[in-house]
Amino acid sequence: MPSFQNLPHHDSGPVFVPQPARRLGDEVPLRVWVPAAYPVRSLAVRVLQDGEPKVTELEAEDAPTRWNGQSGTWWHATVRMVNPDTRYRFCVVGDGERSLDYAWLTAAGVIDHDLADATDFRLVLDESPSWVDDAVVYQIFPDRFARGAGSPALTPETVPAWAHIMEWDEEPAAHGPSTAHQLYGGDLDGIVEHLDHVQSLGANTIYLTPIFPSGSVHRYDASTFDDVDALLGGQEALVRLSKAVHARGMRFILDLTTNHTGDTHEWFERAQADADSLEAGFYLFTDHPDAYEMWLDVPSLPKLDHRSQALRERMLQGPESVVGRYLAAPFSADGWRIDVANMTGRSGAIDLAHQVARDVRGTMRDVAGTAEDGRENAWLIAEHGHDASADLVGDGWMGTMNYAGFTRPVWAWLADPDNGLNWLGLPMSIPRLSGRQIGATLHEYNAHLPYPSWKHSQSQLSSHDTPRTRSVVGTSERQVVALAALAALPGVPTVFAGDELGFPGRTGEHSRTSMPWDGLAGVGPRASTIDREVLRATGDLLRLRGDLAALRRGGIRFLAWEDDALVLQRTHPDGDVLVHLARDAHAPITLDLDAGELLHREGGTEVESLGSETGAPQLRLSASGPGTSFVRLTA
């Protein structure tokens, strides 16, 4: 069983970086914890300043002490933030007998060999909104959530020609062209009427998939950005939703496709009609008017060309742009999620993705403003399915939908061995990997991100584009463990509407299930399909996160992982929290820690405080089956 408790530790949370940099030139204090079991002769911090390494030795505190019951020594140094992205690592010089004689401590852990700078700790100017630190997001696919009580009935005469009207409780198709045309009739007023449900889960932020008129129910093929789809209630309904959300102290973000429009978009129609038009420069024509670049070879989704300054002004830049208009009153959105941000502005030798992010950030600062602490008021989140680290630097995206650093590792650890769901387009189903493999992914992948980017990325167990959590993990018990990981790990917990009910979904389209409001009230045939235990656990675990600063704003220390268990510690001056995640029964894990209080427990986990022969406190964690425990540690 790999155990990391007896290794030196530093993270980017407030215990180890008690005063983060707010501007260039700030002197930033750094701390390192060195357990007594890992004796060292000296420590030094290597900082890159203007590309040149600068080395400073750390000083040890006068007397050994205890941290959470473990004996050891705090070391400290101060470094100056010279560059907007200042990278640093620690050289740990051991005694060569009970510890490594030479090692590097980076965000990837203690490494016994020289390595590239990619996983160095980083001091960055955190300009993401402070409210995102405490956000819990509820994702809504508007057509499937709820229809307002006063909304008129859908009829063939009142819906677009593309729409096929569905009964509310019908199961959506999983594959085929019909998936884009199945109209259930959810609208924005329906969301207003069910905000109590959203808040009951501990969520305080809503993320809406697109709301613009289009040629499909998913609305990623917008026909204009100037209006809100009449099927959703129009602009007046968005204003009503904004007022209702903000009256509750909640926030909401909208979804914008900067990579492409629909082929019925007014810009594209003008572009096709006139090769000399301004709009013709908005798209990547290879042979006007019918040959053009498109998203994943889908003809109805022509790709935008951000080399056009006119396009960027109309879509991204300034208060009159699409980005600016919906951030301003009366809509007053609190941010944007950018669809396929990994592809936006990129085509062959063209790479303007960072420019797109920079343009959006500039408009958000101009329209939504900044807080007293200098951090921006609006949140910018990017869809990205793999390694997003290069796009999360400087004034790039504030965070990403962290599929690579959260969703897929959690899936692969908790997966039902017989899930039969495709894995990343590869010729295999989702694998069932060990805790060692999953812990390594969680640790090493996220070490490549600036810590504020990890904290401000969305952690989701499923979304409108993926299978649902229940279809991945197979059982209620393992879904609760997945929810515990969602509450415990850095990132912004994000729940896709319906996941809290334990609903299945084998594809993204099949997962776009309508909400069973009658069933939640105990009425109708869908009442028996709701997993009330998962619903309870969703609220309990996400509210627990809201109660504990360590889970929302703390650093992270991995303590142990084995095939069926992951143990981690969230560090924070208000009190550290240990989290034990078990996917199945496992042998006891003993740690040299002092438990103060069992905060929450689900399933088959057990926590026992022990003495030892030396009198030092110990903590034993075991499990008879899937479960989780959250334990407050004694300072």
> What's the pLDDT score for residue 3?
65
Q: Which of 568, 149, 333, 289 is nearest to 280 (CA)?
A: 289
Tell me: do 89 and 168 sit in the same domain: no
Give the CATH number of the domain where residue 474 resides: 3.20.20.80
pLDDT in tens, 102-135: 999 999 999 999 999 999 999 999 999 999 999 9
Tell me: do 542 and 618 sit in the same domain: no
In contact, 87 and 117? CB cutoff 8 Å: yes
Tell me: do 532 and 601 sit in the same domain: no
Is the predicted pLDDT of residue 1 greater than 50, yes or no? no
Is the predicted pLDDT of residue 551 greater than 70, yes or no? yes
Which residues sit opposite 578 in a β-bridge? 569, 631
In contact, 229 and 274? CB cutoff 8 Å: no
> What's the pLDDT score for residue 609?
87
In contact, 259 and 344? CB cutoff 8 Å: yes
Tell me: do 160 and 254 sit in the same domain: yes
Q: Which of the listed residues 518, 547, 576 is the one where a domain comes to its end?
A: 547
Mean pLDDT for the chain overall: 96
Inside any domain, residue 491: yes
pLDDT in tens, 448-482: 999 999 999 999 999 999 999 999 999 999 999 99
Tell me: do 540 and 576 sit in the same domain: no
pLDDT-derived band at 59, boundaries 50, 70, 90: very high
Indicate the SS3 state at residue 463: coil
Neighbours of 162 (CB within 10 A): 13
Give how far Cα 86 sits from Cα of 27, 50, 52, 113, 391, Å: 12, 9, 11, 22, 17
Tell me: do 74 and 156 sit in the same domain: no
pLDDT in tens, 178-205: 999 999 999 999 999 999 999 999 999 9
Q: 286 is in which domain, residue-wise?
A: 265-296
pLDDT in tens, 67-82: 998 999 999 999 999 9
Q: How many domains does the chain have?
A: 4
pLDDT in tens, 385-428: 999 999 998 899 999 999 999 999 999 999 999 999 999 999 99
Tell me: do 136 and 118 sit in the same domain: no
Q: Which of 464, 447, 432 is nearest to 387 (CA)?
A: 447
Tell me: do 598 and 473 sit in the same domain: no
Tell me: do 450 and 532 sit in the same domain: yes
Give Cβ neighbours of residue 232 (< 8 Å, ≥ 6 apart): 142, 186, 187, 188, 211, 238
Which residues sit opposite 573 in a β-bridge? none
**DSSP-assigned states of every residue in 154-207:** P-TTTS-TT-EE--TTSPPPSSSGGGGTEE----HHHHHTTHHHHHHTT--EEE
> What's the pLDDT score for residue 280?
98
Inside any domain, residue 17: no
Kindly state the tokens that stand for 560: 């142990």
Tell me: do 275 and 312 sit in the same domain: no
Is the predicted pLDDT of residue 28 greater than 60, yes or no? yes
Give Cβ neighbours of residue 90 (< 8 Å, ≥ 6 apart): 8, 10, 32, 43, 44, 45, 46, 58, 104, 105, 106
In contact, 371 and 379? CB cutoff 8 Å: no
Q: Which of the listed residues 547, 567, 598 is the one where a domain comes to its end?
A: 547
Assign residue 90 a region (left: φ > 0; alpha: ψ between -120 and 50; beta: otherwise): beta
Beta strands in 497-564 (DSSP E): 555-562
Indicate the SS3 state at residue 502: coil
Is the predicted pLDDT of residue 62 greater than 90, yes or no? no
Give the CATH number of the domain where residue 104 resides: 2.60.40.10
Q: Which residue has the tokens 């490594």?
A: 100
Tell me: do 419 and 516 sit in the same domain: yes
Is the predicted pLDDT of residue 613 greater than 60, yes or no? no
Kindly state the tokens that stand for 396: 């790039």
Separation between Cα atoms, residue 336 and residue 209, nearest integer Å: 10
pLDDT in tens, 296-348: 999 999 999 999 999 999 999 999 999 999 999 999 999 999 999 999 999 99
pLDDT-derived band at 227, boundaries 50, 70, 90: very high
